[in-house]
Amino acid sequence: APARDIAVLGATGSIGTSALDVIARHPGRLKVGLLAAGSNVEALLDLCRRHRPRHAVIADASAFPALRDGLREAGLETTAHPGDALDALVAGDACDTVVAAIVGAAGLPSTLAAARAGKRLLLANKESLVLAGALLMAAAREGGATIVPIDSEHNAIFQCLPDRHAHAGLRRLVLTASGGPFRGRSRASLADVTPAQAIAHPKWSMGPKISVDSATLMNKGLEVIEAHHLFAVPGERIDVLVHPQSLVHSLVEFVDGSTLAQLGLPDMRTALAVGLAWPERIASGVAGLDLLAEGGRLEFEPPDLEAFPCLRLAFDALAAGGTAPAVLNAANEIAVSAFLQGQVGFLSIPRLIEDAMTALPPAPARTLDALAEADAAARRHATAALARFA
């Protein structure tokens, strides 16, 4: 069934805010059951005053008293919870729908809990699929969860692949990429780019981590792995095309020569509305597409793997399998956060990831423990390597 009671995890972030914007447009139909954030109590309290959820969760333990006291002072009936209550709340009757929009591998436990409990899972947290895609997809199958991908490319493909019959005749997926703020630049010219330049995305307004991922093209690499798990398509049948206008969100090619695409303005509220209402359609606040707005042009070009090696590293990790994608993802999280803090340069991001992938060769990854171990080992390795790549 379409969504009713919604848990928004990562509520204070870019995706969380967009989700709440769509939900608030449909007061009779959609309501907020639970809001969760990392550490930003003031922003979470503000959202609680506006959306009046039954439950609010803050992951940072030191911020919990401020949440509890703030809710009481505001006279709200919302119950405050510490972070360790999140997975059980997600699995329980506080919600039938979960917007998984925590950033990074930190989102995996709650995403898995939603999958196991058979919720409608609006999945933005791509890192959880990269880290543990096979286990997460199996948990959703066994739990009876419906996954609607929120990442715009995968949401586009989801819309083009409405049923199993279409899936059987699928030849390849084509993920589009904006190319990020450094499209067209040589590798050498990227040595001195600043975090502020890297997060100034030309088309999408997003959180800092995914914005840097877009600038390195690691975002597209993570999305290739994400698409592999969501749609059961091998890496050899997933292509990437740079499309600077960011209006065609991805394409699906079938064996009969048909190619279907989904188009729309670059605004995540469209994908979120699809996820909330599917198979129905509801208003999202996003205007319709004006194909003449960009001078009537839709352009496509191949990605430059020389300037942006992160995309190649992700294809390598997918081909290697086992723990390799977990290592890629963890090393990337460490490298991006070090870049954002000014500890390493932009070109060190792929170097740190490649270094971790070489040092930690792929091992089988049949259990969550094996993946968690690989994730932790890659974080330790990349953190220790920061000084070498500074």
**Residues lying near ligand NDP in the complex (CB under 6 A):** 10-16, 36-40, 43, 59, 101-103, 106, 124-127, 151, 204, 206-207, 209-210, 268
Comparing CB distances to ligand NDP, the nearer of 39 and 343 is: 39
Q: Which residues pair with 57 in a beta bridge?
A: 36, 81
Q: How far is the CB of 175 from Mg ion (least distance, A)?
A: 8
In DSSP terms, 121 is beta-bridged to 98, 147
The minimum distance between CB 18 and ligand NDP, in angstroms, equals: 7
Site map for Mg ion, 113-152, x if CB under 5 A? --------------------------------------xx
| Residues 323-362, mask of contacts with Mg ion (x by CB under 5 A) | ----------------------------------------
Report, in Å, the least distance between residue 110 CB and ligand NDP: 8
Sign for the CA dihedral angle at 127, 266, 208, 383 comes to positive
Residue 221 C-beta: closest distance to Mg ion, Å: 11
Q: Which is nearer to ligand NDP, 220 or 362 (CB)?
A: 220
- State which residue, 22 or 224, has the beta carbon closest to Mg ion: 224
- Quote the least distance from Cβ 278 to Mg ion, whole Å: 18
Q: Tell me the closest approach of the beta carbon of residue 100 to ligand NDP, in angstroms.
A: 8
Nearer to ligand NDP, 323 or 337 (CB): 337
We find the least distance from the C-beta atom of residue 151 to ligand NDP, in angstroms, to be: 4
Cis geometry, peptide bond prior to residue 279 (ω within 30 degrees of 0): yes
To ligand NDP, the closest distance from the beta carbon of 15 in angstroms equals 4
Closer of 151 and 316 to Mg ion (Cβ)? 151
Q: What does 272 interact with, of ligand NDP, Mg ion, none (CB < 5 to 8 A by kind)?
A: none
Distance of CA 19 to the CA centre of its chain: 14
Instruction: From the list ligand NDP, Mg ion, none, pick the one residue 267 interacts with, judged by a Cβ distance below 5 to 8 Å according to partner type.
Output: none
In the region spanning residues 152 to 171, those forming contacts with Mg ion, defined by CB under 5 A, are 152-153
| Phi-psi region at 29: left, alpha or beta (left = phi > 0; alpha = psi -120 to 50) | alpha
Q: Could you say whether residue 213 binds Mg ion (CB under 5 A)?
A: no
CB nearer to ligand NDP: pick between 100 and 160: 100
Out of ligand NDP, Mg ion, none, what residue 38 binds, judged by CB under 5 to 8 A for its kind, is ligand NDP
Residues in contact with Mg ion by CB under 5 A are: 151-153
